[in-house]
Structures are given as C-alpha cells and as structure tokens.
Structure 1
Amino acid sequence: MKILITGADGFIGSHLTETMIRAGYDVRAFVQYNSFNSWGWLDDSPEELQHSLDVFSGDIRDPHGVKEAVKECDAVLHLASLIAIPYSYHSPDTYVDTNIKGTLNVMQAAREQNVKKVVHTSTSEVYGTAQYVPIDENHPIQGQSPYAASKIGADQIALSFYRSFDLPVAVIRPFNTYGPRQSARAVIPTIITQLAAGKTDIKLGSIHPTRDFNYIDDTVTGFIHMMKHEASIGEVINIGSNYEVSIGDLVDYIVEVMDVSSLTIETEDQRIRPAKSEVERLWAANQKAKELIRWEPNYSGVEGLKRGLKQTADWFLQKQNLKNYRTERYNI
C-alpha cells in the first residue's frame, strides 16, 4: 500500500513514518515546507529509512499541494496539526486555518482520489474536563481552549465526509502521548529537560490535574490498527492507557526513574491555563479499541508508565538530543 502521512516531520508522525517503512509500507511523508530543506524529526532518521522515503514538502493549508500529495495513495494518515494549547490563546486564527481548513483539504483530496482509508487524528482535549470516568467515546465534547475547539471542528469535518460522501474515514483519539522527540511545550519533556540540565528547582504550571499518558509506541500501533481494520470506518476510537495520574505524582515517577535525589517545584504563572480553560481530569476508556481494532496498550498502569518514562528520559539524556531543547525558556 502507498500511504500518505501528513505531519510526518512531527513527534508522532516521525515515529509512525519510521515504523511503517520498517513494516514494508510505501510511505509518502508530507512535511511542512521550509527554506532550510529540513524534514523535521525525519532528519534524525537512519539513512536507510530516509532513502526509502517519498518526501512531499508543502503546507496542509494549501488545497492544491494537498491534492498533489494525495495522488496515487491508497490511504491517508492525517496527523498535520497545530497542537500547542498556550499558543492557541495567542494565535487562534492560525488554528482554524491549519486544523479545520487543513482537514477539509485532506478530506476533499481523499474523496477526489478515491482513497481507500483516511485516519484522522483527534485529541483527548476535545472532551474537556471529565464529566465521568473513564471517558468513553460517548462522553460530551467541550472546547475549553481554541486548540480544542479547532480539533472538534476538524473531527466533525472528517466525520461529515463519511456521512455525506461515504468516504472511508476513521477518527483516532489519542490521549496524552509522550516519548522521545516530544516538544518541550508538553509536561513530560518539560520536567525531564529541566532535570537533565541539572536544575533542582523546576518550573511547572498546575500539578493537580490528571492525565492518561500514552507511550509513543502504543500510539503508533493504534494508528496502524485503525488503518488496517475496516471496523474503524465511521467510528471515533480512544487510544489511551486506562490509567490516570496527577501531574504531581508524575513528577515523583520521573524523579524515581532519573534517580534524582531532590527537587523543588516552582509554580510559574505563565504556565497556568485560564481557570475555565484548564482540563482538570482525563482518563481514557479503551474497551472500544480492544473490541473493534484489536488494540491494547503495552505501557499500561504505573509500571508501564514508569517503563515509558525511563525510555523517554534515557533519550533526552543523550547530549545530541538534549541540545535541541532550550531548558531556560518557557515554550508556548
């Protein structure tokens, strides 16, 4: 199969691209055009994988480029998105252009090219603060940030093409993915990079909210199962560990796996979301994924989380990786 992966240059996209090439798929990697001729995280891929890549440089907001990228592809895994929540407070308009209009471009192109499967990427943020736990796919959705609102709009655009035009669309809804290469705007890299830089007083936002963390390998496997199983068509499916942990307890686990003797947490105002925008609780129900696409996490529970955190910390502790992160700055 010829697979188009949008957002292939990003955190999840680069891992997914590498995994699918190793599995024997013919992958076209849609990366954001830039004058440096950079492929994002794919620049760090082994040379033999880079030689197997069909790279398409463009912009998901450009419908003409998206149509060219989709040509001759059997399936599209659509990950390209603006994801930073704090930046969505700063520049909400660009989230509409990228996340909603970009998704529309992908769906239009996939429909015109008779693509056999489209997997659209959602986010657990669309649920907002849990009204009941664990959160299943019937949970109400609530846009508590411009980012979440744009993803709700994108999800509905994708599903409307399934309902209106019978486009074979599946919506994957990963909970908080973490692992090597993740942006420092996310909480786990924020903690690890500050500790790796030798700091004993780390700066964080609120530490009472809870999250359901998904190690990158589990999220990647979720995408592949979504693509392969016909039962996912027309469905929204959570990909989560079914384990809830507070940010405060998460810090303790990271301290343990990194063997840090002591630290102090300093709450920094600029890292705190507006009160009505903070998602206080996320905890994924994953029964639907188990039943429909035969997926379940390998990094579940506290032991699975610690194993994933150890692998993540080991990657960040390598000097050539840590140098890509500016621990002295808050990254919105």
Structure 2
Amino acid sequence: MPNNRKVLVTGADGFIGSHLTEALVKAGYNVRSFVMYNSFNSWGWLDDCDKEIVKQIEIFTGDIRDPFGVKKAMSGCDTVLHLAALIAIPYSYHSPDTYVDTNIKGTLNVLQAARELGLSKIIHTSTSEVYGTAQFVPITEEHPLQGQSPYSATKIGADQIAMSFFRSFETPVGIIRPFNTYGPRQSARAIIPTVITQLAAGNQTIKLGSLSPTRDFNYVEDTVRGFLAALVSDKVIGEIINIGSNYEVSIGETAQLIAKIMGKELIIETESARLRPEGSEVERLWADNQKAKRLLNWEPKYGTLDGLNKGIEKTVEWFSNGENLAKYKMGIYNI
C-alpha cells in the first residue's frame, strides 16, 4: 500500500514512464521522477501531464549514464522503478555504442547505487524484443533469449546484470518484461502511432515496413498496472515476469483495424527505410502471461481483439486532438 516511502521512476519523461508517474501520484505514492537533463528544461511527456499532478512530483534532472547523479537521485528513496533506456530499434543500428552505455551501464549504475544505499526493491524494465522471433508460442519467461538488434542485445545484457546482482548480492531486484505497449504519447516511430498519424494527416497511402510480423500489443494502462502490481508484491523479487495480452495480431491486420476505427480507406506502401535487416526482424511475438496472473494477480483489461479495439480507439482519440498531433513531425520517418 502507498506510504511515505519515496519511489524513484527513471525514464519518467518517456511514454510509459510519464503514464506510470501519473498513476503512482494518483495512487498516493511519494514520487521522485528522474528525467533526462537538457538545456531546454524540458521534462518530456511530464510537461503534458495534469499540472496538479506534476506539482506533487519531485523532479530530478540528470543522465542515467552518470553513476554519481544516479546515486544522488536514489538517495532517500525506498524503491526504484527503472524504465530509463534507449528503445528505438532503427537508431540502435545507427548508434549501438550509446545503447550499451545507456541500457547496460545505466542499469548497472542503478543496481550499484541500490546495493550501496540498501534500497528495498528495484523493478527493472525489460522488453519482449529479448526473445527474438518466437521459437514456441505463447512465449513463456523460459523462452531462449536472442539479440536480433543492438537494442535487444543491450536489453538482454541489462536483464542479466540485474539478475546477477540478485544472485550475487541478494539485491532485491525483479524484472517486468512488457510486450508491445501502445497508447497516447507514444513515439510516431512505433507502428500504431505511425499509422494513426499518417492517416490523421490526410494520407490515404501510408508508408510502413514489413506487414507480416505479429505482435502482442499491450495498452499502456495495462502495462502501468503491471508495474503497480509488482511494486506491492514481494513475489516479484528474483523473478522475470511477462506483461502481455496473450493475443497475437499481424502488423498488416493492425493497420487495417486502425483505418477501420478512423473511418479511412487505406493503401499501404512498403518503404525500404522502414524495413529491418532480414535477420534482425522479429517475426513473431505472443506472450504467455500466466506467471503475471499467478505472482502479481495481474491480467490485461485490454486483451483479445475487443480489447485491442478499445485501446486503439483511446489512442486514436488522443492523437486526433490537434494540439497532441502538432507535437509530432509527421512529414518525416523518425527512427
């Protein structure tokens, strides 16, 4: 239950992190938000949150790659929800060294500080991309790991560092492994926002990459509920837990579903820049979420085709607001 103990959210300025921060404040938690320092004094998506909620957050600006700043941010906190990471797969082809520094070294900084400060719980954020193309479905937490992009390789490394601290030092770490989260504030690089923004801009012919891969889409509200469940459960310690809908749908089918919801005719044109290298494309993702149900008493509210429809409707509604849409550079492919 919420109390006066302080919770630190790293990556609070991001898509999922901003939604999680809002939910923590609404649930009565004392929240400190770690956001990426920049000279514009931007707090990322927290700038778009309800101002009354933001007033209740302690903002810490820094860089997850800096161990001194990370330890300072964590001082006085009881728990850390670690979401800070570079996540764009195309950009990881471009600048893999930055992903190693941010995703692996950044996670090490959090773990080392947690060990030195004696924090009671660290929830580390993984990704379904660590599984690579499914070798069996639905994908359980015992599925082999396969780095098919520099991004996924660094997330595998971060996960392994986290579990090594649990095994070596009994650091109280648990890992949440969300599948493909979508919703308001997501980058237009991701498939659902890229379809919505292109259609909202009046384009009937839209540009996409491969249409055949399947994904297990998680509405952001469900992902956030997974973090909140992990926060209050001791059963997460030493465990890796999938957060997914247990529903598989192809990219092409998803695009058609979005067009139907938006009342648009749709022509899809494949753009080579949006295609991953053949061996890097994750062809199939489908989550087994039984462990989350068993250990966290969590299950998706937006699972199944009906749930996906509802989640996309909410996402379309947000992007259809002109002020929100104006925050996106729709004329370019943002890697």
1:323 aligns with 2:326: yes
Q: Give the letter aligned to residue 220 of structure 2.
A: I
Instruction: After TM superposition, give the deviation of residue 326 of structure 1 in Å.
Output: 1.2
Instruction: After TM superposition, give the deviation of residue 209 of structure 1 in Å.
Output: 0.2
Aligned to 1:51: 55
| Consecutive unaligned residues in structure 1, runs of 5 or more | none
1:39 aligns with 2:15: no
* Residue among 51, 65, 71 paired with 1:67: 71
User: Percent of pairs identical after alignment?
Assistant: 67
Q: Which runs of 4+ in 1 moved over 4 A?
A: none
- The DSSP-based 3-state class of the residue aligned with 2:177 is strand
Matches within 5 A, 1:78-157: 78-157=82-161
1:213 aligns with 2:217: yes
Instruction: After TM superposition, give the deviation of residue 50 of structure 1 in Å.
Output: 1.3
User: How far apart, CA to CA, are the structure 1 residues paired with 2:254 and 2:266?
Assistant: 13
Superposed CA offset, 1:140-194 (max 9, x none): 0000000000000000011111001101100000000000000011010000000
Superposed CA offset, 1:195-219 (max 9, x none): 0101000000000000000000000
Instruction: After TM superposition, give the deviation of residue 252 of structure 1 in Å.
Output: 1.3
Matches within 5 A, 1:135-214: 135-214=139-218
* Residue among 300, 305, 330 paired with 1:302: 305
User: How far apart, CA to CA, are the structure 2 residues paired with 1:227 and 1:164?
Assistant: 22
User: How far apart, CA to CA, are the structure 1 residues paired with 2:266 and 2:301?
Assistant: 30
Aligned to 1:5: 9
Aligned to 1:283: 286
User: How far apart, CA to CA, are the structure 1 residues paired with 2:258 and 2:91?
Assistant: 26
User: How far apart, CA to CA, are the structure 2 residues paired with 1:110 and 1:233?
Assistant: 14
User: How far apart, CA to CA, are the structure 1 residues paired with 2:308 and 2:80?
Assistant: 30
- The DSSP-based 3-state class of the residue aligned with 1:5 is strand
User: How far apart, CA to CA, are the structure 2 residues paired with 1:296 and 1:74?
Assistant: 26
Instruction: After TM superposition, give the deviation of residue 64 of structure 1 in Å.
Output: 0.2
| Consecutive unaligned residues in structure 2, runs of 5 or more | none
TM, length-normalised to structure 1: 0.99
User: How far apart, CA to CA, are the structure 2 residues paired with 1:246 and 1:177?
Assistant: 15
Q: Give the letter aligned to residue 268 of structure 1.
A: E
Aligned to 1:26: 30
1:243 aligns with 2:240: no
Q: Give the letter aligned to residue 68 of structure 1.
A: K
Superposed CA offset, 1:26-46 (max 9, x none): 000000000111100000111
Q: Root-mean-square deviation (CA), in Å? A: 0.5
Instruction: Check conservation: 2:256, 2:266, Cα contact below 8 A.
Output: no
User: How far apart, CA to CA, are the structure 2 residues paired with 1:276 and 1:46?
Assistant: 43
1:274 aligns with 2:247: no
- The DSSP-based 3-state class of the residue aligned with 1:106 is helix
User: How far apart, CA to CA, are the structure 2 residues paired with 1:236 and 1:41?
Assistant: 28
Q: Give the letter aligned to residue 163 of structure 2.
A: L
User: How far apart, CA to CA, are the structure 1 residues paired with 2:49 and 2:273?
Assistant: 34
Aligned to 1:15: 19
